[in-house]
Amino acid sequence: MKAIAALQMASGPQVQANLMEAGRLIAEAKAAGAGLAVLPEMFVIMGQNDQARVQVTETDGSGPMQEALARLACQHKMWILAGTIPLRSADEGRPYAASLLYDDQGRVVARYDKIHLFDVTVGESAEVYTESDTNTPGAQLVVADTPFGKIGMSVCYDLRFPELYRELARQGAEILVVPSAFTDVTGQAHWEVLLRARAIENLCCEWAHYLWAFYGY
């Protein structure tokens, strides 16, 4: 079995620049022997506000972000899990945070829409996040068959809900992926321990990766 690469990024507000950086990292992963590259949540855009992400929303199956990812998968003959990109929902202005899994022929073989949205006030910093203002929550769990094993798909704040992972494991997941953009405060306090807990509870590998710009290490 080929290796799985967890790619870390410090994404910015320019989609094209972020896609170019993702392409560079995917090429490096391929050269190192990886067969699957996993990108972080919101790797494709980290704007000054949530509306910046909404403005680049694509329709499922078409758009420059999806075309670039399919092209990279074909070019390098490797699988790519695209952390999240905004895909249009029935609620205008509130796209899905969609995690797309591409096979080595550039075909989307699985899509997971983030279920648990990050609506919180963070501790003493009093930072307020209301992800539901600009996102539509998903409703379906996804376990994907791949050459690397059965992958249970999730995103970031999902990590705090153990019942989701228990059901993924019940459906046969062997690897749990958690593309994330944790905050600096919650990342330092909870990131590793929650990953370990979900993996231990479900006897799975936890394939985790995060966005440097948010985690701050």
Identify whether 41 is a catalytic site residue.
yes
| Dist CA 108 CA 144 (whole Å) | 11
φ/ψ of residue 204, rounded to 5: -125, 165
| Dist CA 133 CA 173 (whole Å) | 31
**Burial of residue 48, with CB atoms counted within 10 A of its CB: 0-12 exposed, 13-18 middle, 19 or more buried:** exposed
C-alpha closest to that of 39 among 116, 98, 119: 98
Identify whether 30 is a catalytic site residue.
no
Identify whether 114 is a catalytic site residue.
yes
Query: Residue 159 is encoded by which pair of tokens?
Result: 């990590």
Question: Which candidate in 41, 58, 131, 206 is catalytic?
Answer: 41
* End-to-end alpha carbon distance in the chain: 31
Question: Which candidate in 30, 114, 131, 206 is catalytic?
Answer: 114
Question: Which candidate in 30, 58, 131, 156 is catalytic?
Answer: 156
Are 66 and 85 a contacting pair, CB within 8 Å? Answer: yes
Active site residues: 41, 114, 156
